[in-house]
Amino acid sequence: MRTIRQHPRSRIVVNDVYAYSEAVRCFGDSVRELSASDPIRKITVEFTKNRELDVANGRFVDTQYGEAGYELFHMLSILRSILPADDYRAYLRAAPVSVTSEMRVRTLVEGLPEIELYTSSAGFIAYADLAGFAFSEPVAKDCTTHASIPYGTEFRYRVADVELDSGTHVTLVFEPRFGSSVDFKNMHSVHVRDAAHVRDGVSQHHFMISGNHFEEALLAQLELLHSVEEGTALIRLAELRRMAALSTAVSTGTFPQPSETDQPGDPQGNDRMFARLGSGT
């Protein structure tokens, strides 16, 4: 805040990598198409990596949000791509049913599907059954088979899964070619499996998406910086408040309820707040 006040004409964008990802867009489109006639029952998003070596080397140490600060913002971006705007705002306002320290956030809201977000910086995989089938390289298969990513291993288990009322699953898998392609970080996949084939991992529909979503996001957000007025910050404020609330819930056991002034304020539903820097808004 001190820096913002010292530079009141600055333009600021909070980096939101997955909001501009082609893979996330394709996943969201697939979910919307199928859920138009087959409602969503449950949404599960997991971003797990063993970050213990990174932390030992001084990387990815979040002293403010803790575990919530590592992956939660990315997972909310994916959730935002799936839920209608009003439903997403309702989710951000709702207190979770449970929050655990690794962290697992389970939320039940009337009129919404069950939503569970999970992340572990110690490498403990919670939902290997949702996307383990998508990996073929031995290191990745070993991690998903044992539901654990060993210390120092670069493998990341990042998946989003939507279960429909019929039992069909739509699953987004980031980096399924880990270890088998030089460009594995830029290759992602979407799978559609009906209820009869969920356990055996056979996809009725499957496609790969190639693209560097970090580059996609950087270019899009640089364009935003050029297009907004001086002294403007583009901030998803309600999402940052939810991250702070989840951090509080982990440390105190109590999830703080948002006040009316904390509610998301973008009528378009994407919760992007345009704040004048130094104005306190």
Digit-coded pLDDT (tens) for 64-106: 777 777 889 999 999 999 999 999 999 999 999 999 888 999 9
DSSP output for 114-136: EEEEEEETB-B-S-HHHHGGG--
Angle between helices 237-252 and 68-82 (to 10 degrees): 130
Q: Is 185 within the bounds of a domain?
A: yes
Which tokens hold the place of 219? 């270019």
Q: Is 32 within the bounds of a domain?
A: yes
Taking the complete model, does pTM exceed 0.85, yes or no? yes
Q: Is 269 within the bounds of a domain?
A: no
Distance in angstroms (rounded) separating the CA atoms of residues 62 and 60: 6
Q: Is 71 within the bounds of a domain?
A: yes
Distance in angstroms (rounded) separating the CA atoms of residues 191 and 185: 18
Distance in angstroms (rounded) separating the CA atoms of residues 122 and 148: 9
Q: Is 72 within the bounds of a domain?
A: yes
Which tokens hold the place of 30? 């697939």
Please report, to the nearest 10 degrees, the dihedral formed by the alpha carbons of residues 22, 23, 29, 31 taken in order. Answer: -160
pLDDT tens digits, 206-229 = 899 998 988 999 999 999 888 888
pLDDT of residue 10: 84
Q: Domain count of the chain?
A: 1
Cβ count within 10 A of residue 158: 21
Q: Which domain holds residue 85?
A: 19-211
Higher-confidence position of 261 and 186: 186
Contact residues for 78 (Cβ-Cβ < 8 A; gap 6+): 18, 24, 27, 45, 160, 172
Distance of CA 237 to the CA centre of its chain: 16
Distance in angstroms (rounded) separating the CA atoms of residues 260 and 106: 23
pLDDT of residue 1: 63
Q: Is 6 within the bounds of a domain?
A: no
Confidence class for position 248, pLDDT limits 50, 70, 90: confident
Q: Is 222 within the bounds of a domain?
A: no
Cα angle value 250/255/257 (rounded, 5°): 155
Amino acid at residue number 39: P
Q: Which residue is associated with the tokens 């104005």? A: 279
Q: Is 256 within the bounds of a domain?
A: no
Residues in a beta bridge with 174: 188
CATH no. for residue 144? 3.30.360
pLDDT of residue 56: 86
Confidence class for position 266, pLDDT limits 50, 70, 90: very low
Cα angle value 232/235/241 (rounded, 5°): 140
